[in-house]
Amino acid sequence: MDLDNNRKLITTALDAVGSGDRRALQTVYRLTATKLFAVCLRILGERGEAEDVLQEVYMTVWRKAAAFDPAFCSPMTWLIAIARNRAIDHLRAHGQNRTRSRRRSSSRTTSRPPTWPCKARRSGHSCNAASTA
């Protein structure tokens, strides 16, 4: 399927979603889920969180599809912006716990230099940043 046809299908489906057509939402999902999941996963880094955020993305699409204007932007641009913003919102809401746990774990290990992977590790030796410099 070429890009223009795909774009037209998504645009038509979003228009129908704006009118409350559930099958059209399935079409939008089928045509866009892989790309939008990749956006969420790239930002969040964890598959489970990306799946949760992706569900929120399609709930947002269901509620706001009537506001989509193809004269303003492409359907994928609009959908990717929603996915990106939802993922960033999720990081902001849940990221404080991640940051705190990273700080706690890093404060315990700051007395040692980081260990870097190297060929010597395969033979049982460790290689750290201080000894490679």
108-119 pLDDT tens trace: 443 333 333 434
Domain membership of residue 75 as a residue range:
3-132
CB–CB of 76/105 below 8 Å?
Answer: no
On whether the pTM is more than 0.75, the answer is no
DSSP conformational letter for 115: B
Work out the end-to-end distance of the chain between its first and last CA atoms, rounded to an integer number of angstroms.
Answer: 53
CATH number, domain of 91, equals: 1.10.1740.10
- CA 5 and chain centroid, separation: 25
Specify the DSSP element, H or E, that contains 96. Answer: helix 75-108
Q: What is the dihedral of CA 39, 44, 49, 55, to 10 degrees?
A: -30
Q: 130 pLDDT exceeds 90?
A: no
pLDDT at 107: 43
Confidence at 98, pLDDT banded by 50, 70, 90: low
Tell me the Cα Rg of the chain.
22
pLDDT, average across residues 79-83: 98
The total number of structural domains that make up the chain: 1
Distance CA 55, CA 21 (A): 17
CB–CB of 53/83 below 8 Å?
Answer: yes
34-44 pLDDT tens trace: 999 999 999 99
What is the overall mean pLDDT for the chain?
80
Say which amino acid occupies 117.
P
